[in-house]
C-alpha cells in the first residue's frame, strides 16, 4: 500500500513543483531537507519511472541555482549586518571564514560549499556583499548547482536500483546513504581545514 501511494505521489502533478520549493527553501533555511528531497526523487525515478530522472536533475539544479543567486543578490543588496542574526558571533565567524575562502579561491570555495548547507548560505551572501563580479559568480554557481543536483539524484537512483523492496524502501535507504556520504564529506573537509590552519 505504501509503495502504491509513493508511486502515485511521484507520478502526480505536484511532485516536481514541490521538489523545486524544497530545494529553493533549502538555500535560505538549512533545516529544509532539499538534498534529501532530491535523493528521494531520484530513488522514486529509478523505482517507479516517475518523475523522470532527467526532470528531477533539471528541476533540482534550476531551483538550487535560483536559491544561490537570490542569496548572492541579498548579500549584494543588504550586506552582512542588516539583520540581527547576521551580527551573531557564529554568523560573523561564518562570514569571515567565507570571505577568506572567496579571497583565495572563489571557484573552488563556491563548488565545495554547495554541498555544505550553512557554508553555502554564508558563501553566497558573502560573495554578494563583497561584490564578487556576477560574470565570475554566475557560471561557477550554475556549475555547482548542477553538480549537486546530479550527485543527489544519482545517489538516490543508484541505491534504488540496487536495493530490493519497492519505492518506499528505496527512498529510505537512499536518503540514509546520501546523509552518510554528506557527513563523511563534512568530516573530510573539516580535517583538511584543520591541517591547512595548522600549516
Asked if 91 contacts 85 with a C-beta cutoff of 8 angstroms, the reply is: yes
Residues 11-61 pLDDT 10s? 667 889 999 999 999 988 878 888 888 988 998 888 888 899 999 999 999
Amino acid 89: pLDDT: 76
Distances (CA, A) of 127 to 13, 67, 82, 97, 123: 36, 14, 16, 12, 6
Backbone angles phi, psi at 132, to 5 degrees: -60, 130
Amino acid 22: pLDDT: 94
Q: How confident is the model at residue 92 (pLDDT cuts 50, 70, 90)?
A: confident
The number of beta carbons lying within 10 Å of the beta carbon of residue 148 is 23
Asked if 136 contacts 105 with a C-beta cutoff of 8 angstroms, the reply is: no
**The whole model's pTM is what?**
0.81
Residue boundaries of the structural domains of the chain: 2-198
Q: Which burial class, exposed, middle or buried, applies to 36 when counting CB atoms under 10 A from its CB (0-12, 13-18, 19+)?
A: buried
Asked if 96 contacts 129 with a C-beta cutoff of 8 angstroms, the reply is: no
Amino acid at each position: 500500500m505504501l509503495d502504491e501511494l509513493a508511486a502515485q505521489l511521484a507520478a502526480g502533478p505536484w511532485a516536481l513543483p514541490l521538489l523545486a520549493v524544497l530545494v529553493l527553501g533549502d538555500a535560505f533555511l538549512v533545516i529544509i531537507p532539499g538534498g534529501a528531497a532530491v535523493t528521494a526523487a531520484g530513488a522514486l525515478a529509478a523505482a517507479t519511472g516517475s518523475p523522470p530522472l532527467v526532470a528531477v536533475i533539471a528541476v533540482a539544479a534550476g531551483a538550487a541555482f535560483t536559491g544561490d543567486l537570490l542569496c548572492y543578490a541579498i548579500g549584494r543588496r543588504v550586506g552582512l549586518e542588516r539583520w540581527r542574526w547576521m551580527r551573531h558571533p557564529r554568523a560573523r565567524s561564518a562570514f569571515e571564514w567565507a570571505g577568506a575562502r572567496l579571497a583565495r579561491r572563489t571557484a573552488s570555495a563556491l563548488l565545495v560549499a554547495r554541498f555544505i548547507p550553512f557554508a553555502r548560505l554564508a558563501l553566497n551572501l558573502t560573495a554578494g556583499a563583497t561584490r564578487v563580479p556576477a560574470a565570475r559568480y554566475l557560471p561557477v554557481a550554475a556549475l555547482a548547482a548542477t553538480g549537486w543536483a546530479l550527485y543527489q539524484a544519482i545517489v538516490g537512483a543508484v541505491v534504488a536500483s540496487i536495493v530490493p523492496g519497492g519505492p518506499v524502501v528505496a527512498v529510505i535507504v537512499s536518503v540514509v546513504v546520501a546523509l552518510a556520504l554528506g557527513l563523511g564529506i563534512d568530516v573530510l573537509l573539516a580535517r583538511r581545514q584543520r591541517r591547512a590552519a595548522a600549516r
